[in-house]
Structure 1
Amino acid sequence: MLRVSNSLIALLNLLGLVASIPVLTISLWLRKHAINECERTLGVPLMVLGIILFFLSLVGLIGSCCRVSSLLWLYLFLTFLIILSLFVFSFFAIAVTSKGAGKAVPGTGIKDHKLGDYSKWLQENVVDGHSWVKIKSCLIQAQVCGSLRNDHLRKASVLYRMSLSPLESGCCKPPIACGFIYKNATFWVPPKSGPAVPDDDCTTWSNNQQILCIDCKSCKAGVLASLKNDWRKLAILNICVMIFLLIVYSVGQCALKNITEDGYKRYRPFQ
């Protein structure tokens, strides 16, 4: 008769096996039916997650139900590696996102973002070179500035009362410090005397509705600000997952101990 720990680890892995099916299905759907390359790229991490979850759950399920100690050893080893990986990533994510925050523009609800405020690692590995070409393409395809092209934003006062996202603030308008003349939320005219400050973003700004400030450093900063928020949330999720996996790991150890003890008694019946 299976003990409670064996039954529990079998149930948990059965649920994991079932959960991996929709994850793999969604990843395959994204790979084949995505509207653009950005959505298609999202299918890759989902597929990796689905494969890991499927394989790990299958090993744990067979090991616990069939009482195969070698498979449970493998299951515990893989679970430990995942816990370690989550811990390392969470620590790394918190470390590289510790710097950087938007600066509130006085008299408005808008925050301007500066690229230099964020960590060197993020600048060099996320928004530099070839990586930025892909991100820029995704921003254009996703029409991140589309929500600002509304009639109710014809007055600057309305825009200044809004709480813009880091992407909208960095990519869809010039920095407020440039002193540009507001025509609408995505159309700004430089004063005849030129920009109020010697900022490269002031000269990079374009009223071409496909470009706007996507080539600006402030747009890169907005991407890093969004990434920082997402990574912080992911780090919290990882901690919750680690706690759950530690519980699963403990139950798995109990199940392995039960199987090992039963096997020992079977081969040493008179001791």
Structure 2
Amino acid sequence: MALNYMAVAAINLVAALLSVPVIAAGIWLSTQADNACVQILQWPVIALGVALLAVGLAGFVAAFCRLPWLLLAYLVAISVLVVALACLAVFVFAVTTGSSGHRVPSRDFLEYDLDDYSGWLRARLDAPGRWDRIKACLAATPTCTDFNATYATAQDLFTAAPNRMSPLQSGCCKPPTKCGYTLVTPTYWISPISATADPDCAAWSNEEAKFCYSCASCKAGLLQNLRGEWRRADLILAVATAALLAVYAMGCYAFRTAKTDELFRRYRQGYT
């Protein structure tokens, strides 16, 4: 019986250790400039990771100290966390479906359309007063400063490969190509003579604090950036969920075996 309880303790310790990559994924998201400004996914991920760590350690203690009632509570709690992680992984995958960008004439970099992304994500950006806070946060990052330093000439900018220019830089640090602006420096452009009805074209400003932060293209670039980062974190959530399911199944089996052995021991003691 002691051996069975030790097996349960070891399995529960593994469950606690599986919280480490989940927490790490949340912390990694919080270190990304765009996620730090938006603040949507990292805190639920970190919270689930911490909860998983606490429950796993509680299950380890329960098995080590042979507390069946606490072990039963652990199994219920871990099943809830597995469902929560699975739901979050599926949800993140669903809301990050969308465009990977499109090419524009005579340019190698990609540009992005806001309508290509999920309504749920767009609604998070368009909540009252939220975009004003996000764009002020983005303007305080070195995103566009790095953009200006990276591309010294028009040729450097126009031939920038998609993996060199981030979606955030493409959408926020320059006017959309369709607007017909003339480049002086990567962050200084001359407005075309002919007027355009596109709001993004009128929203561009050569002021460092403004640039295209009020443009729909900036929101689209931000969502594309989030999409790439969230998909990486989602892979960790999916793997952790699958591993937890296996751990949960082994834990249930080991707990049932331990309880069976204990009942059998009591039965034998009753006839001796």
Question: Does the 8 A contact of 2:62 with 2:71 survive in 1?
Answer: yes
| Per-residue Cα deviation, 1:170-225 (whole angstroms, up to 9, x for no partner) | 0000001111010011111112334xx43110000000012100111100111111
Conserved? CA contact 2:16–2:53, under 8 Å: no
Report the Cα distance in structure 1 between the residues aligned to 2:166 and 2:213, rounded to whole angstroms: 14
Structure with larger RCO (C-alpha < 8 A, sep 6+): 2
Structure 2 residue identity aligned to 1:72? L
Number of aligned residue pairs: give it.
Answer: 257
Farther off after superposition, 152-161 or 206-215: 152-161
Contact 1:180 1:190 survives alignment (8 Å): yes
Tell me whether 199-208 or 135-144 shows the greater mean CA deviation.
135-144
**Other structure's SS at 2:133 match:** helix
**Residues 216-244 of structure 1 deviation map (CA, whole Å, 9 limit, x = unaligned):** 11001111111222222222222101111
- The reply on whether 1:160 has 2:158 as its aligned counterpart is yes
Q: Distance in 2 between matches of 1:258 and 1:90?
A: 32
Farther off after superposition, 224-233 or 177-186: 224-233
Q: 1:54-65 residue pairs with structure 2 within 5 A?
A: 54-65=53-64
Relative distance call for 1:180 and 1:102 in structure 2 (3 A) is same
> What do residues 116-151 of structure 1 show as CA deviations (whole Å, max 9, x unaligned)?
22222221123443332332122122222121122x
Q: Matches of 1:47 and 1:15 in 2, distance apart?
A: 14
Is 2:176 the counterpart of 1:178? no
Supply the RMSD in Å over aligned alpha carbons.
3.1
The corresponding residue for 2:92 is: 93
AA at the equivalent of 2:158:
Y
| CA contact 2:9–2:61 (8 Å) conserved in 1 | no
> Does the CA contact (< 8 Å) of 1:13 and 1:61 recur in 2?
no
**Separation in structure 2 between the aligned mates of residue 16 and residue 233 of structure 1, nearest angstrom:** 17
- Matches of 2:18 and 2:232, distance apart in 1: 23
- Give the deviation of 1:256 after TM superposition: 1.1
Q: Which residue of 2 aligns with 1:105?
A: 104
Distance in 1 between the 2:225 and 2:90 partners? 18
Q: Find the aligned partners of 2:86 and 2:46 in 1 and give their Cα distance.
A: 21
Q: Letter of the 2:70 partner, please give it.
A: L
- Output aligned runs, 1:194-209, within 5 Å: 194=195, 197-209=196-208
Distance, in Å, in 2 between the alignment partners of 1:76 and 1:267 is: 24
Which region of structure 1 is more displaced relative to structure 2, 114-123 or 169-178?
Answer: 114-123
Return 5+ residue gaps in structure 2 as ranges: 31-35
Question: Residue type of the partner of 1:53?
Answer: L
Distance 2:107 2:252 in 1: 57
Contact 2:16 2:52 in 1 (8 A): no
TM-score (norm 1): 0.82
State TM-score, norm by structure 2: 0.82
Percent identity, aligned pairs only, is 31
Preserved contact between residue 156 and residue 182 of structure 1 (Cα < 8 Å) = yes
1:267 aligns with 2:266: yes
Alpha carbons of structure 1 residues 133 and 155: separation in structure 2 relative to 1, 3 Å: same
Out of 7, 11, 15, the position equivalent to 1:5 is: 7
1:1-271 to structure 2, matched below 5 A, reads 1-3=2-4, 5-12=7-14, 15=17, 38=36, 44=43, 48-49=47-48, 51-150=50-149, 153-162=151-160, 163=162, 164-194=165-195, 197-269=196-268
- Give the 3-state SS of the residue equivalent to 2:208 in structure 1: coil
Runs (4+) of structure 1 exceeding 6 A deviation are none
CA distance 1:47–1:113, change in 2 (3 Å) = closer
Q: CA deviation at 1:48?
A: 2.5
